[in-house]
Structure 1
Amino acid sequence: MKLRRTTEKRSAFVHPNALGIGARTLTFPDGATCAFFAVTGYPREVGAGWLEPLLTYPGRLDVCLHIEPIPQAVAAMRLRRQLARLESSSQADTQQGRLQDFDTEAAADDATELAASLARGHGRLFKVGLYLTVHAASQEDLTAEVERVRTLAASLLLDAQPTTFRALQGWASCLPFATDAIGLTRSFDTTALAAAFPFTSPDLPVPTSTSAVLYGLSASSSGVVLWDRFAQDNHNSVTLAQSGAGKSFFTKLETLRLLYQGVEVAVVDPEDEYARLAHAVGGTYLRLGATGVRWNPLDLPASHGPRDDVLARRALFLQTLIATMLGQASLGPHIRATLDTAVLTTYAEAGITRDPATWSRPAPLLGDLVTTLTGHPQGEDIAVQLAPYVTGSYRELFDGPTTTHPSGHLIVFSLRDLPEEMKAVGTLLALDAIWRRVANPRDRRKRLVVVDEAWLLMREDAGARFLFRMAKAARKHWAGLAVVTQDAADLLGSELGQAIVANAAGQILLRQAPQAIGAIGATFGLSEGERQFLLTAERGEALLVAGPASRIAFQVIASPIEAELITTDPAELAELARRESRDGPTPTPFTSTFVQDEDEEDGDPL
């Protein structure tokens, strides 16, 4: 039987989902291809964020970092061996009359410093593998992308070598499986490894403490924007934006992320926007102006320093408060003298004198002060003007002892239930209560005071001066003041407002109205490009100004759970309400304790 040789070309069978494996590349069924590289050479010294250029590469580039700690005993043994080899090499060169090898000398110095750091417990050693995956739509595009990536790596003094005949292992090493199939590692110490993490921005100072807050992603790159207000010269900030630009969303996001770090936050909330957040994290929520809620401005602080004259300070604050109640920029000297005498007399009638032993007695009420003024020859006019707050339409807030004392890690003063004429008075009362907590010498901790819609207080001269004093003195008490407003004219149109801006280490500017961009641009020294950015910014896009040399545009980023807690969008709130009515309240990872109108002393609501 003859066998007939066939001349027909046999066609190979290729599965539609087959993966083409080459020497240096992988080809996917849709025609896309990728190449893989392992970094085998590194510079001697690196700075913070030294991987940022690779992480912000404009093309599709995967950067994979495999980290494995080396036990201390093993690290010490390896360093001893390395030092012995280097010293032996140097001695051999000297004995044979060779020229000095500067690379060997530098390596010996580095090994000595690293060994000393490990011995003192200042750091550890890690095995680190750095791998790159370059993606492209076709083989021609891949060649160009590979050339650009290798050039970028070379500019960083990184030697990126292709994983020849190990393309599949290179692909597996760059997948999120925590598997290093290549195994080309280099020993890193703690400092060099920490500098590789993408938690810095090249446009901002490197955070130096644990209280840095993630604001979002840089608008000019894919890098993150971190800002640590407590690492600056002062801890204050000013946030300016027109209505609907996202200033409240941003402020609540920073508040929530500071709470993660144990920072105590107090908020003056004129529009009841922090209720969901306070409910979720177990904060203290006080609704000034609501039925049954009382606030006594004559209360003395429960704790004070050994040399504090609490009574005198309370008398001075009451003069500021009454000036705001009367709608006057300031009180004349005769009225101040009359008020001071009436306040001290009112306290004396309640058994409270300059003796600290009497300061724990129940404080008199605002009505008692008005009664004292009525009997004073020069106090009749003041008593008549204060009558609405004692016997008239505004009496409910002051008609009795304080019902809820502020305490806890988040304190929110809601002013929505107050009439418009009382908003400035309510803001001043809230700031006074917060400041007494901040200035307590027996309880030092990081704190942030948020004054939302600060224009309500800036309209009153006495309130503006109080806010200015807080901005000046907050740093001394380890606290920061965050002033948030949509009316730039009220803040920038007065000397006190400009002084508050000048005492803020950070300024966050969101979308601005054309009518206000001129004043804002002149105040903050904005370039023409920055002005155009603020005029055309989308919701959540902002410009962080931290001095003339540190400014960066960014997009505010929140997780889905954070967005549910802090959103103020009516459509989103309506959808959340429908969902909760159908499925019940959405569980959150936070403790939920809601304090509203209960009689509470200074105990922690948690």
Structure 2
Amino acid sequence: MELLRRGARRLVGSRSAHSSPGSGVAVAGPDAVEVGSRWLRVGDGYAATLAVTGYPAEVGAGWLEPLLSYPGRLDVALHIDPISPAVAAKRLRKQQGRLESTRNSSAEKGKLDDPETEAAAADAADMAFALARGESKLFRVGLYLTVHAVTEEDLDAEVSEVRSLASSLLLDAQPASWRSVQGWTSTLPLGVDLLGMRRTLDTPALAASFPFTSPDLPTADPSPHAPLTGRLYGGNASSNGLVLFDRWSQDNYNSVVLATSGAGKSYLTKLEALRSLYPDPHRPAPEGEVPVQVFVIDPEDEYQRLAEAVGGAYLHLGAPGVRLNPFDLPPGAQKIPDALTRRSLFVHTLLAVMFGESLTPQEAAVLDRAVTAAYASVGITADRRTWSRPAPVLADLEAALVADSADGGDPAGAELAARLTPYVSGSFSGLFDGPTTTAPDGHLVAISLRDLPDELKSVGTLIALDAVWRRVLDPHHRCRRLVIVDEAWLLMRQPEAARFLYRLAKTARKYWAGLAFVSQDAGDVLSSDLGTAIVSNAATQVLMRQAAQAIDAIADAFRLSDGERAYLLAAGIGEALLIAGLYRVAFHALASDEEDELITTNPEFLAGIPADDEDGLEP
């Protein structure tokens, strides 16, 4: 097995065609190769190969990244051959025997303990135990570096730079003297190792050699045999490595994504949602379940193709006959002592958002009595045994308010009832004129708000988020849940809705849920105390391209350096800065062709999808 970085495109000089008679196959290669003791002249340039003969005792994640991101022309080849467990165990026993013999000989001669021998003995013992338990395997690994330059003088300088860089990594890189052709060939994408200068590495050390982890981010488990966890976010912007990140290993599972329109925030969010459904070999889910249940509040129908492709549920809130009753009690309400009280409090929040202002104390008192009366009208009381009965609807609340104000009662009830008329029997009644039609349940549930009029966007977002949260509170079904609120500024415009979102952000972790807050109005979010609090309660923060008008507020809130500030102002589509506590890494989103087809909103691509093939899966 071979890992090659930039090897396939490092042949220099003009191209010439070499082919066997009748084959018709042309092979690109240099015109000529001049061989020296420590260098090759390949076409119009020079190359020299270094073989790594000494390695550090311990390595961390992404330890080869400085070599892989070297600014000059450098080919890095890693040749890997697995060793069978039986042979590995035999060799370890011999090695332990040699080390123990060396220690005994030194002790008999009265010599002091050799630290290197002691460390090697301890490492061999640990490796033997890991191999016996099946936690690790052994591999023979060869690491070779080929340096390129235009002139022989430049080559000497580049070789010195690379050897110094290797020394800083505690690697001993030696020139392949008198074997320059074999060294150069070993770093070509041919899969052959003609140098044969190998070192035995175990699985964790070899895994850390691959550019699949970022040293800029913390690992969930720093132990040497811990498996790599997390989801691929993209490529590291400052190196050739990849950024893997696990939101479920953070202090809380919330995240915030702030970007201008068109910066790629929805693309990145959809990519994470899709990859959250992929099986996790290190955290297997029960049979028939997915690792993470994903809920999406979708304001613009951007998640429909994705939901249909993965067999998820998609609700068009606001379409004829599609309703979510805000009076519904959560599943398993009998096991939640204050479930009815929570529903009453949510109705207060809902009416405040409907009316666009907070209720007065007098209105709140009247509403509280009316909510209790509305539930009682359908047989739901403080007795938990009644909580399984069908819930009331908004018309029942209106009737309770009218009854409360009748016969000399509080006039505030009649005024509230009058203000509810558009939602009960008027223009906005389609959203509230009956019980829930479709329960939001499935491994991926997207609730669309596109069919709602602008006047109901905030109300619809709140109702959809509340319906999702009732599923999160279900005590009968515990699993990781990711709740995505796209275009969250729709809720942040309403103080009561913003407070509701803040409460969810504070309590999400208790229910093994993460709230993903996605917004394009970073300035408006950070200008309010609740918005700042929501951002502060997100352990994962992703910043994408920012407008010049909002960069000052962003820089102050996230304590950006001048370089990070400039990066966000000039960031391209899909480029982002990931912040996790004290750790920061810049990356660009990466998606496969299949993933891109499901999540892209490119108008040119979408225009090419046939009308009868809305999910885009057919050619």
Aligned to 2:14: none
AA paired with 1:240?
A: L
Aligned-partner Cα distance in 1 for 2:139–2:146: 23
Change (3 A) 1:102 1:542: closer
Structure 2 counterpart SS, 1:145: helix
**Is the CA contact 2:257–2:543 (under 8 Å) kept in the aligned structure 1?**
yes
Aligned-partner Cα distance in 2 for 1:393–1:140: 81
1:224 aligns with 2:242: yes
Change (3 A) 1:371 1:225: same
Structure 1 counterpart SS, 2:578: strand
Aligned-partner Cα distance in 1 for 2:217–2:182: 38
Aligned-partner Cα distance in 2 for 1:160–1:174: 15
Aligned to 2:267: 249
Structure 2 counterpart SS, 1:230: helix
Change (3 A) 1:585 1:490: closer
Structure 2 counterpart SS, 1:515: coil
**Is the CA contact 2:324–2:464 (under 8 Å) kept in the aligned structure 1?**
no
Aligned to 2:590: 557
**Is the CA contact 2:330–2:473 (under 8 Å) kept in the aligned structure 1?**
no
Aligned to 2:91: 78
Aligned-partner Cα distance in 1 for 2:229–2:390: 39
Aligned to 1:273: 302
Of 293, 301, 308, the residue aligned with 2:337 is 308
Residue deviations 1:91-147 (CA, integer Å, cap 9, x gap): 234434555544333322322232233334443322222222333445454333222
Cα shift at 1:468 = 0.4
**Is the CA contact 1:264–1:447 (under 8 Å) kept in the aligned structure 2?**
yes
Aligned-partner Cα distance in 1 for 2:391–2:461: 21
**Is the CA contact 2:309–2:615 (under 8 Å) kept in the aligned structure 1?**
no
Residue deviations 1:151-200 (CA, integer Å, cap 9, x gap): 21122121223344544544454344544443322121233223222233
Of 113, 118, 125, the residue aligned with 1:105 is 118
Structure 2 counterpart SS, 1:317: helix
For structure 1, the 5+ residue unaligned runs are 1-13, 590-606
Cα shift at 1:24 = 4.9
Aligned to 2:440: 406
Cα shift at 1:422 = 0.5
**Is the CA contact 1:280–1:588 (under 8 Å) kept in the aligned structure 2?**
no
Scaled by the length of structure 2, the TM-score of the pair is: 0.85
Aligned-partner Cα distance in 2 for 1:562–1:588: 14
Aligned-partner Cα distance in 1 for 2:94–2:593: 51
Cα shift at 1:258 = 1.9
**Is the CA contact 2:61–2:214 (under 8 Å) kept in the aligned structure 1?**
no
**Is the CA contact 1:305–1:440 (under 8 Å) kept in the aligned structure 2?**
no
Aligned-partner Cα distance in 1 for 2:397–2:333: 24
Residue deviations 1:224-280 (CA, integer Å, cap 9, x gap): 223222111111122222222222222222222222243221111112221222122
Aligned to 1:473: 507
Aligned to 1:349: 377
Change (3 A) 1:211 1:75: closer
Aligned to 2:316: 287
1:330-409 mapped onto 2 (5 Å cutoff): 331-377=359-405, 378=410, 379-409=413-443
Residue deviations 1:53-75 (CA, integer Å, cap 9, x gap): 11111122222223333333322
Aligned-partner Cα distance in 1 for 2:117–2:490: 68
Aligned to 2:493: 459
Aligned to 1:3: none
Change (3 A) 1:360 1:588: farther
Of 547, 550, 555, the residue aligned with 1:513 is 547
Of 42, 47, 56, the residue aligned with 1:43 is 56
Change (3 A) 1:433 1:526: same
Aligned to 2:557: 523
For structure 2, the 5+ residue unaligned runs are 1-16, 19-28, 222-226, 280-290
Aligned-partner Cα distance in 2 for 1:376–1:581: 53
Change (3 A) 1:97 1:353: closer
**Is the CA contact 1:207–1:227 (under 8 Å) kept in the aligned structure 2?**
no
Aligned-partner Cα distance in 1 for 2:341–2:588: 47
Aligned-partner Cα distance in 1 for 2:335–2:615: 48
AA paired with 2:311?
A: G
AA paired with 1:555?
A: H
Aligned-partner Cα distance in 1 for 2:153–2:593: 40
Of 566, 581, 584, the residue aligned with 2:599 is 566
Cα shift at 1:218 = 2.9
Of 568, 571, 581, the residue aligned with 1:534 is 568
AA paired with 1:553?
A: A
How many equivalent pairs are there? Answer: 570
Moved more, 150-159 or 575-584: 575-584
Structure 1 counterpart SS, 2:452: coil
Aligned-partner Cα distance in 2 for 1:395–1:275: 25
Aligned-partner Cα distance in 1 for 2:517–2:422: 30
1:149 aligns with 2:177: no
Change (3 A) 1:33 1:586: farther
Aligned-partner Cα distance in 1 for 2:389–2:327: 12
Structure 1 counterpart SS, 2:390: coil
Scaled by the length of structure 1, the TM-score of the pair is: 0.87
> C-alpha root-mean-square deviation of aligned residues, in Å?
2.7
Moved more, 271-280 or 346-355: 346-355
**Is the CA contact 2:318–2:431 (under 8 Å) kept in the aligned structure 1?**
yes
**Is the CA contact 2:597–2:616 (under 8 Å) kept in the aligned structure 1?**
no
Of 143, 147, 150, the residue aligned with 1:134 is 147
Aligned-partner Cα distance in 2 for 1:210–1:450: 25
Moved more, 274-283 or 16-25: 16-25
Change (3 A) 1:588 1:142: farther
1:311-322 mapped onto 2 (5 Å cutoff): 311-322=340-351
Aligned to 1:601: none
**Is the CA contact 1:268–1:414 (under 8 Å) kept in the aligned structure 2?**
yes
Change (3 A) 1:490 1:94: closer
